[in-house]
């Protein structure tokens, strides 16, 4: 299977009717990647410091001369989102890189974990503002909120590949 096809399969779409059909089917296609990742020896896991307040993250990023990474996710229903979190965003190498270089903001669209109404509205507004059409979507911003780059979907990239992408597109 070619990489563009894999990325297309791994990207949850925003249309609810397609989500139910396509995202459920793509879980089956995504299973081999998940099983392979579980066999990676020595992968340490660590939680990075994720927030939910973009204005606060931008202010802190300006003060610390860092960038902001937005993670648009369906943390409890989107298999590629869960795989990205487990295989990349919850690893020690990612947390170590993020600690000195990024302010992290999770924009979560949960189904089973209810969010406060205000947070749901904020997340929906951010989704519209950044024209997010599928999950997961990572968006790298400078401290002024300018989009530097984005990654739509998750095709099994390693932590090293994601960190290299972040370094390549970071504001100097």
Where along the chain do its domains lie?
A: 3-169
Q: How many other CB atoms are there within 10 angstroms of residue 83's CB atom?
A: 21
pTM for the whole structure: 0.76
The helix (H) or strand (E) run that includes residue 108 is strand 102-108
Query: How does residue 47 score in pLDDT terms, banded at 50, 70 and 90?
Result: confident
**Domain 3-169 indexed as CATH 3.40.640.10:** no
- Comparing C-alpha atoms, which of 83, 73, 75 is closest to residue 32? 83
Q: Which position has the token pair 């984005």?
A: 150
Give the Cα separation of 48 and 35 in Å (integer).
23
Among 4-8, 113-117, 125-129, name the one with the lowest average pLDDT.
Answer: 4-8
3 state DSSP class of 143: coil
User: Rounded mean pLDDT of 18-23?
Assistant: 48
- Comparing C-alpha atoms, which of 17, 157, 22 is closest to residue 78? 22
């Amino acid at each position: 299977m070619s990489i563009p096809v894999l990325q297309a399969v791994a990207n949850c779409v925003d249309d609810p009717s397609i989500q139910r059909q396509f995202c459920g089917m793509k879980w089956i296609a995504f299973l081999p990647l998940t099983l392979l990742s579980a066999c990676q020896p020595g992968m340490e896991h660590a939680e990075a410091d994720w927030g939910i307040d973009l204005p606060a993250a931008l202010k802190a990023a300006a003060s610390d001369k860092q960038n902001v990474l937005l993670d648009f996710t369906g943390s409890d229903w989107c298999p590629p989102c869960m795989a990205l979190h487990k295989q990349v965003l919850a690893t020690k190498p990612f947390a170590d890189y993020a600690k000195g270089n990024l302010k992290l903001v999770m924009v979560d669209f949960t189904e089973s974990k209810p969010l406060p109404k205000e947070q749901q509205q904020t997340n929906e507004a951010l989704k519209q503002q950044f024209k997010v059409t599928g999950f997961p979507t990572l968006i790298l911003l400078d401290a002024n909120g300018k989009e530097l780059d984005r990654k739509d979907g998750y095709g099994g990239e390693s932590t090293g590949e994601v960190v290299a992408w972040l370094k390549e597109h970071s504001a100097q």
